[in-house]
Chains A and B, each alone.
Chain A
């Protein structure tokens, strides 16, 4: 066998560094003008993508695991980095999405249009992408936390790109606070881990006993710390406003990938343990169900395009959690099919959600660019002016709804089949999965309704306002990355069997099996992947057969255009169209007990010539506004007396430090 020229791990590490410092030259203003610097950064990001993807696929194909020691004199142990199929799987979206988003930004956030913040945005975008990769290759707590914190801070500067707007700066602050609370959880996690195993290096897969109380503490802190980043339901409060206010290519990378880094953290932590208790799986499954249903319910009530997509991220993170939950329950009761189906479904959904959500955010960016607003109710008829964007967004919408023949369907199918295996077991495992299966079905049904709303209101019909009618189609630099993502969605949807082996390898890195896998328990025989392909192809063939007929008819048919039926009313105007709020009214009504929609309705004025009136409805971020904020305010009031300590006098702060030091010395002496 021929020697390989460059090892896959070298490719991955090079790509990570290249991405991380792709925008570094932009920081020297004299050296490069902004536009050329952005071009250079984009080229670097694209190169990093290609190198990194090649390396990750090579690792996944060979299934090998490698470890490297860094010679670095830190006061902790020798830092280590490494590659295994699990890292490689998460590196796929980490290299794919930022590469696409960087090319998109070249047109969307061009240096000529945003001269005062393009340098910072481009630099931090590269830094964030590179250090997301670094998080997944870290093999000890210190390196992990370093990479994690740089990634989280870079993301803050990206969210706060336009921090001159109060809304944006608020969203940034909320993100900064929550991400640090999450990091606090991670400090606790890694300190506890070091206490348990005696070193900062990650323990080997399946080496810790999960039944001890300290293991439960580890699990809960990981769930809290990483769940904060992943945006799981009670900890999601930063997510909608951060995603909505960041530039769209940043939202694509954040929603597509940063959330997945949180998922990676949870999966990595779980892989340390063996004999996992049942309640771990049940808790993860429950969190998944809560996130899934409430995420999509909140999404239905939104009328800000990007906020709506952000809530769908919460929903999809919920779906991923459901898959992990099934795998954990399977691990506990020793059901290999459940482990493989659940975990493969979750991992595939990680990649799938990254691609279609990034596609949708980029599409939303093009729409916002063209219409000048994020408000869905002001748009309409965008497909007429932006036909390609409309088509690509449509692909993303079908994919996120989990409809065949695209990729969202495949991962949801795997998780369904995991549930199916679970119900056939007995006891608590069966009960938990039996209750989760309908939840996933509800999530799917509501997601379809929500995307009919988005697509129908934004792209179809007629423009609702003259001012926000779409003007121009996006340029090739915006369309090309979206096309790539749409193609990935289609390929995974049509030929999922291609990924079967890779998914199984990644799954077995996390949950190594005690017994050798027999042929009946391979992923490809557990899930009807080939028949999914067959159905997809059949669908395309039938549509392909119908298309010539359609096109011939399109050319030859007489074009009798007329106004639509309006109960005899002859002059319908664009404002009479259904709006996003009216479309969602029935469903938000059903979920009013969670959503707490606020309706402002002053009533119709009476008289022969009624005066102007208005109607306004809004679904607030209920968890933040109705739970966290009041609780924190009460806490603030309760702790008011202690605030005298923090009075802004520097000398006193120095005194505090002195006292602390003295106490520490004394405690050591005693």
Chain B
């Protein structure tokens, strides 16, 4: 039996929207276990989102329409990204738009508006969060672009679909350029999704928070949308890494059996990826914010090295 690409597209949307909280919950559970704490259960993010949707919102006095619109924009744009990154099949109607440069810029829009929302309320915390987030992003974004660029050089196209197809059907050889790019990508993914050692998603200590400081004034369904989009973003970064560096097993058509296989492969890769992230998060302490430029600078250098390795060695 074969599924129509539109059905697969919808399936992928549903998968990401529905299962991103579960993935985030599972990461939390895993982290608790590794750190010897009692875990809240894999379904906790769903309960949080439901609770937040049920609450009224409290707005800061200065909040303008931009503050209120940003959660919707964040959610909408993240959902678009969920539609164009190939998860289980490369044959998606939206995959034509999956240019990696455009994808990086999509996350850029979200960040632009979130940072503005942080400044909209007119507090020191919002401004501090925005300033820190934009400083980190302005260093992480080029590194991200370079890492992905290196992969696209290997597959001769900046179209993500094309990259995945080429990578999935090529033999496994260790290419130094990709190794550098992967190392850079991991560092950047930690920064972009706000994980330790860059940012700590669990802290609300005023002096150390980065992303949380920007969204400190959000409440109710606004917060629910932002949190949900954040979980999707986490999952999407894993998906992007998987698509760019180890897409083996992804389906090229709409055959149900292959799709199921792809789903199992994706789940297995997500499990491995999450374990690695949890180990990094547990093993490292959060860096001082003044050390972050060095951290991101090394990511940038690694990515650039990958690119140089490509044209020297390949």
Q: Which chain A residues have a beta carbon within 8 Å of chain B's beta carbons?
A: 380-381, 383-384, 398, 401-404, 409, 413, 416-417, 420, 423-424, 426, 430-431, 434-435, 437-438, 441-442, 444-446, 448-449, 451-453, 455-457, 460-462, 528, 530-532, 534-535, 538-539, 542-543, 545-547, 549-550, 553-554, 557-567, 572, 574, 576-578, 582-587, 590
Contact = CB atoms under 8 A, between A and B. Distances in A.
A557 B71 CA distance: 15
Contact of A587 (B124, B135, B307, B310): B135
Contact of A456 (B61, B72, B115, B310): B115
A104 to B, nearest CB: 25
B119 A562 contact: no
Nearest to B136: A586
* Pairs of residues from A and B, 5 with the lowest C-beta to C-beta distance, nearest first: A578-B127, A456-B119, A441-B142, A461-B122, A445-B138
A456 B129 CA distance: 12
Interface string B133-145: 0110111111101
B77 to A, nearest CB: 7
Contacts of A577: 119, 122-124, 127
A335 to B, nearest CB: 14
Interface of B: 56-64, 66, 68-69, 72-73, 75-77, 79-80, 83-84, 94, 96-97, 99, 101-102, 105-106, 108-109, 111-112, 115-116, 118-128, 130-132, 134-135, 137-143, 145-146, 149, 152-153, 156, 158-159, 206, 216-217, 221, 289, 293, 300, 303-304, 307-308, 310-311
Given A437-B149, A574-B122, 7 more contacts: A448-B111, A448-B134, A448-B137, A532-B97, A561-B58, A562-B58, A566-B125
Interface centre among A380, A383, A528, A550 (most CB of B within 10 A): A528
Interface centre among B64, B69, B124 (most CB of A within 10 A): B124
Contact of A563 (B60, B97, B116, B138): B60
Nearest to A532: B102
Contacts of B126: 564, 578
Contact of A448 (B112, B119, B146, B159): B112
Contacts of A444: 108, 141-142
Contacts of B142: 438, 441-442, 444-445
Nearest to A397: B112
B132 to A, nearest CB: 7
A456 B123 contact: no
Contacts of B137: 445, 448-449
Contact of A413 (B69, B101, B139): B101
A451 to B, nearest CB: 8
A472 B105 CA distance: 35
A460 B60 CA distance: 13
Contacts of A585: 131
A417 B127 CA distance: 35
A559 B63 CA distance: 11
B72 A534 contact: no
Interface centre among A403, A442, A451, A460 (most CB of B within 10 A): A460
B308 A434 contact: yes
B73 A543 contact: yes
Contacts of B72: 543, 546-547, 549-550
Nearest to A543: B76
Contacts of A554: 68
Interface centre among A452, A546, A587 (most CB of B within 10 A): A452
Contact of B108 (A448, A543, A550): A448
B80 A576 contact: no
Contact of B122 (A455, A460, A550, A558): A460
Interface centre among B137, B142, B307 (most CB of A within 10 A): B142
19 contacts: A398-B109, A426-B311, A434-B304, A434-B308, A441-B146, A445-B139, A452-B115, A453-B131, A456-B130, A461-B62, A461-B119, A462-B62, A531-B96, A538-B80, A557-B56, A560-B57, A561-B58, A561-B61, A564-B60
Contact of B141 (A417, A441, A565): A441
A542 B79 contact: yes
A573 to B, nearest CB: 10
Contacts of B216: 564-565
Contact of A452 (B59, B119, B125, B304): B119
Given A445-B141, A558-B56, A383 B64 contact: yes
A583 B130 contact: yes
